[in-house]
Amino acid sequence: MKNTILSAATFLVAGLLLLIAAWRVASPDSSQRQSADQASASGETDRTPEKGPEGMVWIPAGSFVMGTEQTMFPDEFPPHRIRLDGFWMDRTEVTNRQFAEFVEATGYLTLAEKPPEFRSVKPGSAADSLAILPEFDTPGSICSLPLESRAQIDPRKGAYSWWQYVAGADWKHPEGPESSLEGRMDHPVVHVSWLDAAAYCEWAGKELPTEAQWEYAARGGESGRSYPWGDQLTPRGEWRGNIWQGEFPVQDTGEDGFSGTAPVGSFPANEWGLVDISGNVWEWCHDYYQPDYYSYSPAVNPRGPESSHDPQEPGIIKRVQRGGSFMCSDQYCVGYRVSARMKGEEDSGAFHTGFRCVINSQ
């Protein structure tokens, strides 16, 4: 299944679940505030390799507190200590230039470039009986509909008022068939599904990061902080990530310098050299999504649950997304917090969804 346009209702839910979170910003829990322990999960002293793969940074072994107590989202609770071995991580999100090299070498077609299929439906589930509506039975992906004023928001639809399925939207045409990658080769690739990202990783000899690896890396060695750079969204009045400013969803004023995606590396790196780990585009992780995984997660090198379960759509296979995007606003979506979790159908991308890769040390 691609973009899971199973029915009009399922389409709207799919578009919504790719981005939104609740209306609130969690404050850090001071009881969790402590630096990562620089000891490997196997108990051995971690040594930084002398030289790594081009474009990747070394994330040292250590432990940290994953999740937060200060949350209204049950899936961010309970906070729990995790130990990880060291690993290499892409400094930036995978760019259009890098993805184009993959496509040129392999001839790969993303799912957004193919007619929809039921790839994310669990066999035997209620969703298995739904059908693709004719108007959605064409290659395309999910974009946001520009609004001129809040009067255009249908109160019966709410957030569904500004999401739409766009025929012809794909990684080469981010806003639809009339758009292109001109001037955007160093922007993150978008409209990639989890399956597309996994295919790229296999070609590149890499993997998608686990959710624990992603959060550990984003925190830069500090547990308890709200953002990769600290506790203030705009320290000294400076924007540190590409998110939405202005009245959502009507006008993005671009106070951070960008409306839409930004070239990778446009903002300062965190302590471990990672850029755009907060904002710009949502990033796929390796893990299946389950809201209660933190209650039974292994304490050492967790790789997520063995299967997917989203109570809102139990018949659809979901994977974890992290980091928020340029569509996240403090008025609406606060996914740019380091503890924030999102889930997306593994066969569906959108115009604000990308990824970065890791190479594990063992």
pLDDT of 21 above 70: no
* Fold (CATH) for 25-45+54-107+186-362: paralog of FGE (formylglycine-generating enzyme) (3.90.1580)
Q: What pLDDT is attached to residue 46?
A: 61
Q: What pLDDT is attached to residue 79?
A: 95
Instruction: Assess contact for 113 and 140: CB atoms under 8 A.
Output: no
pLDDT confidence of 41, banded at 50, 70, 90? low
pLDDT confidence of 59, banded at 50, 70, 90? very high
Beta strands at 358-360 and 282-288: parallel, antiparallel or unpaired: unpaired
Instruction: Assess contact for 203 and 214: CB atoms under 8 A.
Output: no
DSSP 8-class letter at 310: -
Higher per-residue confidence, 151 vs 301: 301
pLDDT confidence of 33, banded at 50, 70, 90? very low
Instruction: Assess contact for 214 and 304: CB atoms under 8 A.
Output: no
How does pLDDT run across 210-237, given as a tens digit for each residue?
999 999 999 999 888 999 999 999 999 9
pLDDT confidence of 22, banded at 50, 70, 90? very low
DSSP 8-class letter at 148: S
pLDDT of 141 above 70: yes
183: left (phi over 0), alpha (psi -120 to 50) or beta: left
Mean pLDDT in residue range 321-339:
91
DSSP 8-class letter at 74: G
Can you point out the beta strands (E) in 32-139?
Answer: 56-59, 62-66, 80-84, 87-90
Highest mean pLDDT among 127-136, 157-166, 339-348: 339-348
Q: What whole-number percentage of the chain has pLDDT above 90?
A: 66
Q: What pLDDT is attached to residue 152?
A: 83
**pTM of the entire predicted model:** 0.87
246: left (phi over 0), alpha (psi -120 to 50) or beta: left
Instruction: Assess contact for 320 and 211: CB atoms under 8 A.
Output: yes
Spans of all domains in the chain: 25-45+54-107+186-362
Mean pLDDT in residue range 3-13:
38
Q: Is the dihedral of CA 168, 172, 175, 177 positive or negative?
A: negative
pLDDT of 164 above 60: yes
Q: Which of 126-130, 251-255, 312-316, 354-358 has the lowest mean pLDDT?
A: 126-130
Mean pLDDT in residue range 254-274:
95
Whether the ω angle into residue 228 lies within 30 degrees of 0, i.e. cis, is: no
Q: What whole-number percentage of the chain has pLDDT above 70?
A: 87
Q: What pLDDT is attached to residue 13?
A: 35
